[in-house]
Amino acid sequence: MTAPLQFGLDTFGDVTKDASGTMLSHAQVIRNVVDEAVLADELGLDFIGLGEHHRADFAISSPETVLAAIAARTKRVHLGSAVTVLSSDDPIRVFQRFATLDALSNGRAEVILGRGSFTESFPLFGFDLRAYEALFEEKLDLFAALLSQTPVTWEGKLRPPLRDQLVYPPVEDGQLKTWIGVGGSPQSVVRAAHYDLPLMLAIIGGDPTRFAPYVELYHRAFKEFGRPAKPVGVHSPGYVAETDEKAREELWPDYKAMRDRIGKERGWPPMGRDEFVSEAEHGSLYVGSPETVARKIAATAKALGITRFQLKYSAGPLPHDRLMRSIELYGRKVVPMVREMMG
């Protein structure tokens, strides 16, 4: 029997505008994110994920701290990262922070581990970007060893070894739910299966069905390891308004501003309206009326066999009130429609 589809939200804490168009402070954006998560909980959504970034256009550099504040104001929604940049962090400290969050939230903590699509954390915390792959592989190996919550004996090349080391606080009930975030690397897909961890696919452009081979690879790897496959989820950007036209017109200028700012850093050409429309109609941008967004989510869920869909509801400097309205429509209208479509 297929597990029912879960519905989540993600945000990087994009620095947004107020109603008059003035950019908000990072502090106010963080407070707004807490309110957005409280609304997600009230709507009965399954998950809220906060991304980790260390740059001017995103307000959240310490997701666990914000998640702890959210834990105090919510009852049901699961709380996690999207993602934790493990390569430039310490695996033991990451485990401790999320175990603490798990205690504060009565077992609702999750962590999505990844390498991140931005590299600002490497020079900021004194890591060599040339060791990008080696850092993640070794730190993930240590983190996976911690999940058993038994004395850890471990040795790597980049840090001193551990001998029969216990890490505190322990997770109170069961194991800390840990996902591997993947943006399209076959090696990362197999690595997730190797460590027996769920897979979160970051699909931020193009036809979502192009990730079907990665899901097939993930299941094939589990079969070869002789274990049942773990869940697969998808993270994609989107925005919901009352009509398709309204959603596109409201999202377009701010989405373009965000996309062009990042694109300039990476050598991409400015985004044209045709590209935006193409992504909305055929790609991985879930923008439109509740009916349109619901149909796209249901199609992706069926094509990839996922058990969770996470909508990245913030994309550029969209005002907080519009984000709250989008979340409301997602929870009250999109989610029930998708459930009906999925049978």
pTM to 2 decimals?
0.96
- Burial tier of 47 (Cβ tally within 10 Å: 0-12, 13-18, 19+): buried
Per-residue pLDDT of the chain (343 residues; tens, 9 = 90+): 468 999 999 999 999 988 888 999 999 999 999 999 999 999 999 999 999 999 999 999 999 999 999 999 999 999 999 999 999 999 999 999 999 999 999 999 999 999 988 999 999 999 999 999 999 999 999 999 999 999 999 999 999 999 999 999 999 999 999 999 999 899 999 999 999 999 999 999 999 999 999 999 999 999 999 999 999 999 999 999 999 999 999 999 999 999 999 999 999 999 999 999 999 999 999 999 999 999 999 999 999 999 999 999 998 999 999 999 999 999 999 999 999 999 8
What residue has token string 């081979």? 213
How far is Cα 183 from Cα 74, in angstroms, rounded to an integer?
30
How far is Cα 209 from Cα 215, in angstroms, rounded to an integer?
10
- Asked whether residue 128 is assigned to any structural domain, the reply reads yes
pLDDT value of residue 343 = 86
pLDDT value of residue 2 = 66
- Asked whether residue 52 is assigned to any structural domain, the reply reads yes
Q: What CATH number has the domain bearing residue 306? A: 3.20.20.30
pLDDT value of residue 116 = 81
Nearest CA among 87, 93, 44 for reference residue 64: 93
Q: Where are the alpha helices (DSSP H) in the chain?
A: 26-42, 63-73, 91-104, 121-124, 132-146, 186-194, 212-225, 244-266, 273-282, 290-304, 320-329, 335-342
What is the number of domains present in the chain?
Answer: 1
What residue has token string 């060599």? 128
- Asked whether residue 212 is assigned to any structural domain, the reply reads yes
- Asked whether residue 1 is assigned to any structural domain, the reply reads no
Q: What are phi and psi of 219, to 5 degrees?
A: -65, -35
pLDDT value of residue 198 = 98
DSSP labels, 2-48: PPPPEEEEEE--B--B-TTSPBPPHHHHHHHHHHHHHHHHHTT-SEE
Domain of residue 129, residue span: 6-342
Q: What are phi and psi of 282, to 5 degrees?
A: -125, -10
User: Could you report how far apart the first and last alpha carbons of the chain are, in Å?
Assistant: 13
C-alpha torsion 319→251→77→74, nearest 10: 10
Helix H or strand E segment including 182: strand 177-182
How far is Cα 78 from Cα 112, in angstroms, rounded to an integer?
12
Pairing of β 199-202 and β 152-154: unpaired
What residue has token string 């479509």? 341
